[in-house]
Amino acid sequence: MIVKPLCFPQESTKVRIHYRPLSRFASPQRTAMMNDRRDQLPRDPVYIMYDGRCATCHGVVRSLMRRSRSNRFRFVPLQTLAGTPVASAVFRDFGIDASTSSTIVVWKNGTLFIRAAALFAIVSELGWPWVILLLLRFVPLCVSNACYDLVARLRMRLFGAPRHPDLCPLVAPQQRALVLNALPSDLTMFPQRSGVMMSAQWRQLIIVNYAVPAETLASYLPRGTVLDDWQGEHLVSMVGFAFCTVSLQGMTLPFCGNFEEINLRFYVKRELADGSWRRGVVFVKEIVPFRLIASTANLLYGEHYVVHGMDSQSAVAGECRQTSYSWSDGNETVLMCAETYGRAEQLASGSLAEFITEHYYGYTKGRSGETTEYEVEHPPWRVWPKAQGTVAGPLGRFLPRDLAHCMREIHSVVVAEGSPVRIMRARRL
């Protein structure tokens, strides 16, 4: 397949990010430079809800604003949360009234954190050398929370109330946009639950679909699952997306928390004991730029990650949005690109986009034939009704040849905004 290069009008805004696989530990200077480029990937910021009546809290917020990574944060006084969905979620999960409490609350990847856990979530975003403080997370959280509660009780006695209740006049003009009067109304709010392995944000998803014969997929099918078809057709999807703010217990992974991923997957379902069906996907191949990410996923989930150099490009001109992902082994390169028009819309019931995006489980086939299952939790994604895309390059060099041979004609293209996601711990069936 041949694809024309993306042409960016002069009035468009363009972002270009280049990654290379990490073959060794990078110096702090080199790592900082790479992180600056990765900061351009699209994602929701970390929302910090602080006590607006506390001088200590004002000082902490102003200190965070002076950091080079202050664009990762947005600050909201707790007193503005009365009657909001966030206040309801805080009461539901922690049993406290956020609008009258002096406890710091952090929203990150759709999950709320309070007290010491919230502080760790903030520190993990600050980069080197602040990430060294994350070693304190090995202290039991009950001990950290006790220390936090002690400081919280004494702060008003030691430092009092702020001289000016409104923080905005006290900060530089370019920093005032970081202070909000309210949180966005459409923020994802996951309920507290056990078994969460990691959280992240999946953004700017390009999903290019191909129809392939069912017998081609038979050797990849995990035991206990059957193929899930779309109107009688069996689809495989090549998916490119931005994998952002990868976090464990709210703490972003240092040095490799933001990257891009390309994966090849097909659709399956598994019948449960009550006769209902659980719909999921099987990943045939995944490509990322970091060996740490690839090795961890292969070890914990039995996936098929490999490491290659990766590149992305995006541009917006009016209602036209262009996005591309590419990957290379140093000799050959594959380019995936998509173009959308207008605004993203809610999923239409019974549509192809709903079928593609609403498979919430992952299944892997182990070397000894066992099947592993894990859940991926996310809200329904908004998709662009007008989207077109293409893929160019030697797919057979990067993907199994039997599948690449069948992927000659694109069946359809789905482009989704994405959202925060939570990935649960895997379990063997």
Q: Do 102 and 162 fall into the same domain?
A: yes
Q: Do 310 and 245 fall into the same domain?
A: yes
Read off the pTM: 0.85
Residues 374-402 have a mean pLDDT of: 93
391 strand-pairing partners: 336
Write out the two tokens for 375: 């859940």
Convert the pLDDT of each residue in 333-380 to its tens digit. 999 999 999 999 999 999 999 999 999 999 998 878 889 999 999 999
Residues 72-90 have a mean pLDDT of: 85
353 inside domain: yes
Convert the pLDDT of each residue in 281-302 to its tens digit. 999 999 999 998 999 888 888 8
Sign, Cα dihedral of 35, 39, 42, 46: positive
Given this model, what pLDDT does residue 53 score?
77
4 inside domain: no
Given this model, what pLDDT does residue 51 score?
82
Q: Do 163 and 238 fall into the same domain?
A: no
Which residue from 142, 151, 193, 191 is spatially nearest to 59, judged by alpha carbons? Answer: 151
Residues 7-15 have a mean pLDDT of: 39
Convert the pLDDT of each residue in 149-175 to its tens digit. 888 887 767 666 666 666 655 566 777
Given this model, what pLDDT does residue 19 score?
39
Return d(Cα 28, Cα 25) in angstroms, integer.
9
Q: Do 123 and 239 fall into the same domain?
A: no
Residues 86-99 have a mean pLDDT of: 81
Convert the pLDDT of each residue in 221-238 to its tens digit. 999 999 999 999 999 999
Q: What is the DSSP string of 114-127?
A: EHHHHHHHHHTTS-
Percent of the chain whose pLDDT exceeds 90: 48
Given this model, what pLDDT does residue 20 score?
41
Q: Do 368 and 335 fall into the same domain?
A: yes
Q: Do 250 and 399 fall into the same domain?
A: yes
Do residues 41 and 21 lie in contact, with contact meaning Cβ atoms separated by under 8 Å?
no
Ranked by mean pLDDT, which of 34-38, 364-368, 382-386 comes out on top? 382-386
Last residue of a domain, which of 178, 212, 236?
Answer: 178
For residue 171, the enclosing domain spans 45-178
Q: Do 127 and 206 fall into the same domain?
A: no
Q: Do 408 and 314 fall into the same domain?
A: yes
